[in-house]
Amino acid sequence: MTTATTTTATTETTTTATTATTTTATTSTTTTTKTTSTTTTTATTTTTTTITTTTTTSTTTTQTTSTTTTTITTTTTTTTTTTTTTTSTTTTTTTSKTTSTTSTSTTTTTTTTVTSTTSTTSQTTTTQTTTTSTTTTTTQTTITFSPVGIYALTIPTCATWNDTGITMGGNSNGSVGSDLRSLSSPVSIFIDNSDNLFVCDRDNYRILKFPPNSSTGIIIAGNGTAGNESNQLRGPKGVAIDQYGDIIVADSDNYRIQKFVNGSTSGITLASNSSINPLGQMRDLHIDVNNNIYVTDSDNNQIVKFIPFSSIGVVVAGGGPAGPGLNQLSGPFGNFVDPNGTLYVADDQNFRVMKYFPGSLNGTIVAGNGTAGSSAYQLSRSISIIVDNNGYIYVADYGNARIMRWTTNYAAGGVCVIGCTGSSGVAATQLRGPRDLKFDRYGNIYITDQANHRIQKFMIQVPAAGCSSK
């Protein structure tokens, strides 16, 4: 605020002038703009792709009030009055006496100027502006289940299994078919933690899901006709459910790996055969605890690992020509990866099971002796394997129509646990071409009885007194 005051008083003999000036005061009030910025971040726990949406809303209203007091000027003038007294002269002859009296009145002029204060108040109000930015980060949500087919299960060391199987999919009499209660050369299976059974129904070109206690399947991938469209399969030979509930399929005769997002019947190709990524006939597919995909490429005698979001695989076992060396494979089929990243391979044409520690291409023989046979030390076409948390290895011995178990004392040979009649057949106690095997969460064993076109379940048995586990 600026104030200026000026007062001038001048007095002369006959004139007095007084000037009064009232200071002009200007008051300006400005409300400082206040900006408040609030950022809210909403995160949905999920990996994959981030979508950011920013919404900014800004509204500014300016209100100006101007008040002006009009200047009023009043001038008062006092009229000058002049009084002149006539000079009286008296002359006496004798003595001349002159008396002259002059009276001059004082003329006073008073000018009063009153300037009223001009007060201008300018008030500018800036409306408070609030900008709110909402950033939404969307990440694929991880489903909180632990698929038994991915994680190794702790099985009591003294456990046995009932030798009579229960048919969970397909026809118990071994007949082939294409309706939802039938199968045609089923191969790979998978069991989730809700006891849903997923089956690669190879010659029907589809993946079926059998809910618990249901003998009628639901088609969740493939349309029943062979083809290479996104909704078709041709000879599917491996299936697994990843940690997001999506279905991963080894679409073997199309030389590709397909992903069916949970609820979708249209597949997305994750990897396929190419000059930089050779991928032949795939016999099995496994997903580890880190969501890495392992496929058995039988044509190229190798196991190939695909890390998440990569379409280029890395050879982690075998590769090159077939052979019996510890760094070779010959027509491998099944594979399994334990929680430590240790890889096990069913080396079919070498009649053995190989074990590979992470980062090593040289394996160790842990089951079978490299020659075909039916003794406790031998295998006849080792097709599929699973490993429990004790390190015990379960092998689908296809040629001998049985399931064998090896402890960590591999040199002692294996023990037959299912299909131990010595012959193949369609009876509930028999198998004919066991192609895959998986545990459910209770330790029951499910077996793909391929040549009987059915899935058999064998119930676990543990002594009432229990037994210790390693």
Answer whether residue 130 is part of any domain: no
pLDDT level of residue 235 (50, 70, 90 thresholds): very high
Residues 23 and 115: beta-carbon distance below 8 Å: no
In order of 14, 188, 354, 358, the CA distances from 317 in angstroms are 127, 21, 9, 10
Instruction: Enumerate residues 6+ apart whose C-beta is below 8 A from 9.
Output: 17, 18, 19
- pLDDT of 27 reads 38
Reported pTM: 0.70
Give percent helix, percent strand, percent coil of the chain, each to the nearest 5: 5, 40, 55
**Domain presence at residue 77:** no
In a domain, 270, yes or no: yes
If you average pLDDT over residues 415-440, what whole number do you get? 97
Cα-based distances in Å from 106 to 16, 79, 84: 11, 12, 10
Range of the domain at 434: 160-461
Sheet holding 62-68, edge to edge: 26-30, 120-126, 62-68
149 pLDDT more than 80: no
Could you give the number of structural domains in the chain? Answer: 1
Residue 434 within a domain: yes
pLDDT class of 466 with cuts at 50, 70, 90 = confident
pLDDT of residue 269: 97
Closest CA to 169 of 154, 144, 190: 190
Q: What is the CATH number of the domain that holds 354?
A: 2.120.10.30
- Tell me which residue of 235, 206, 201 sits closest to 220, measured CA to CA: 206
- Residue 222 has a CB neighbour count (10 Å cut-off) of 26
Residue 36, in any domain of the structure: no
Helix (H/G/I), strand (E/B), else coil: 263: coil
* Residue 391 resides in a domain: yes
Query: What integer pLDDT is reported at residue 468 of this predicted model?
Result: 60
Which positions ≥6 away from 93 have C-beta within 8 Å? Answer: none
| Domain presence at residue 250 | yes
Is 53 domain-assigned? no
| pLDDT tens per residue, range 389-414 | 999 999 999 999 999 999 999 999 99
State pLDDT tens for residues 289-336.
999 999 999 999 999 999 999 999 999 999 999 999 999 999 999 999
pLDDT at residue 457 above 80? yes
Predicted confidence band of residue 467 (pLDDT cuts 50, 70, 90): confident
